[in-house]
Amino acid sequence: MAEPQNFMRVPDPTPKRTLYTDAMEIFHRAADTIGLAPRVRLELEEPDYEHIFYVTAKLKDRLRPLSPEAARSFGDLPATQVRDPNGLERLADGQILLNGKALLGSDVNIRRGHLRLPDGGVYQLIPGESQRFKAYRVQHNQARGPYKGGIRYHREVSLDLFKALAAEMTWKTAIAEVPFGGGKGGIQIDPRQYGKEELEAITLRFMYKLKRLIGPNIDIPAPDVGTNGEIMALMMRQYLDGENERHVGRAIVTGKDVRIGGSEGRVKATGQGVIYCVEDYYADRGETLKGKTFIVQGFGNVGSYAAEIFAGLGGRLLAVNDYDGTIYNPDGIDVPALLAYVADPKNLKRSVAGFPGAQKIDKKDFWEVQAEVLIPAALGGEITGEIAEKVRCKLIAEGANGPTTPEADRVLLKRGIDLIPDIIANAGGVTVSYYEWIQNKRMESWTEAEVNAKLEHALKRNYRIIRDISRNNPRKTEMHDSRPFCVGKQVEPRLAAMILALKRIEAHYIIEGFSQ
């Protein structure tokens, strides 16, 4: 007979370091600092639920471009005259998708599965096949309210990443004082390689499967990297399809278009929130943003609005790095012109690369551009220990989630570079999502000025509490009260932010107790 221990899995004595364990390092430090109740630590250490499921979709036929060498053997292939050029949808990777009856009624010349378009290029016809995508929803904690967090469409996602991002939402909603918990999810997909109608089919199928797991009072998704208001509209439609009381369910997602129940100010809320924090950082020193130089990584939703608002307050943008390139102009980049360049439909990659009003530089040189403020607004883990040694800014305002690794944190602290941590700096998005949710529930719509005034108050008030915790300066002012949160010693800003989150979450467990 086998020994009993053969049937038991012995836990690894030194658990593997993962992105999630890295992200939770600060949680454990804060928990130790405040002596978090042990059972609350267990509740928060791992998510409530981790859902993994699969989504399938039928793709459309595609035209894949041949290299000039490969195209040579089709030298005498006559061009195909496409009668409906709108049926050809150009994707960022150079492929062309055939929509509807793109080639029907055209003079088509196909040889060995290849055709030439009027632009001269030779393309291979790839028949549309069905594809399977891996999808996730992690629901981290709901002690303070329904799970809340974005939907990411990106090739590099994993359960580990969504766990880290969902936990981060639990901290962020507590810091922003909105009555939500934390969640995050999405699909492993590069959305730029799929057509509009394909993304619609994938999104509808995703929501079809997600529906049983979420609800306007259970778990409320929002846009994140690779998704936007259009995707939210599809998710809402699918969730409410056929429901009798559709109008009361609009709060199922936030980040919707204003015309279908979205909130004024939501689209730019995250970038706006980053700048409210930066403004307050300088106000504390008796300074304004006028004349301050800054650089931005990522020029999507968060980065572009942060840049626009910062520049509108007199700041000077010196460099931008995104997925496809880096641009630099020591005299300052014309932000409205850059926004127009990125939004131009001809700019398929929506990238800053090739912007005529700046010079191209290498990504590694981006980090070394001297500027007062660095705003990382791309993906996580970008500022490593090595990069932290090189940066030449005085303040990092984290627009992205988790852009700075724990090792980089230690380097920045040693080098005296200030930090506005992500869980307050980019909390503007979830704060205005909460306003959208309330407006949906109450069937109201607020003006942008009302939204911004509330957002500014919420972020500055909580950022001041975090600064007070960090400096160990317990006090009550008209705007905020940091006395219940200071811990009797100075702590770095990221730890201070986590202390605020944990004290607010712990109160629920201490006062309400645990359901059995």
Active-site amino acid positions: 184
Residue nearest to ligand NAD (CB): 300
Point out which residues bind ligand NAD (CB under 6 A). Answer: 223-226, 270, 297-303, 321-323, 377-380, 399-401, 426, 429
- The H-or-E segment that residue 235 falls in is helix 229-240
State the minimum distance, in angstroms, from the CB of residue 171 to ligand NAD: 12
In whole angstroms, the minimum distance from the beta carbon of 451 to ligand NAD comes to 14
Cβ proximity to ligand NAD, 265 vs 493, nearer residue: 265
Q: How far is the CB of 423 from ligand NAD (least distance, A)?
A: 10
How far is the C-alpha of 215 from the C-alpha of 244, rounded, in Å?
A: 15
Task: Pick the closer one to ligand NAD by CB: 47 or 399.
Answer: 399
Q: Is residue 297 within 8 Å of 391, Cβ to Cβ?
A: no
Q: For residues 308 and 322, which CB has a smaller minimum distance to ligand NAD in the complex?
A: 322
Q: Helices 448-471 and 493-512 sit at what angle, rounded to 10 degrees?
A: 100
- Residue 374, beta-bridge partner list: 295, 396
Q: State the nearest-atom distance from the C-beta of 507 to ligand NAD, in Å.
A: 25
Total residues belonging to the chain: 516
3-state secondary structure 429-481: HHHHHHHHHHHHHHCCCCCHHHHHHHHHHHHHHHHHHHHHHHHCCCCECCCCE
CA–CA separation, 175 and 169 (whole Å):
10
Q: Using an 8 Å Cβ cutoff, are 97 and 198 in contact? A: yes
Rg (C-alpha) for the chain, rounded Å, is 25
Phi, psi dihedral angles at 53 (to 5 degrees): -150, 175
Q: Work out how close the CB of 254 gets to ligand NAD at its nearest, in angstroms, rounded to a whole number.
A: 10
User: How do 130-141 and 147-154 pair as beta strands?
Assistant: unpaired
In angstroms, give the least distance from the CB of 154 to ligand NAD: 8
**Largest distance between two CA atoms of the chain:** 81
Name which of 319 and 491 has its Cβ closer to ligand NAD: 319
CB of 413 to ligand NAD, least distance (A): 22
Provide CB contacts within 8 A for 497, sequence distance 6+: 171, 175, 421, 423, 424, 466, 469
**Cα 47 from Cα 58, distance rounded (Å):** 33
User: 237, 261 in Cβ contact below 8 A?
Assistant: no
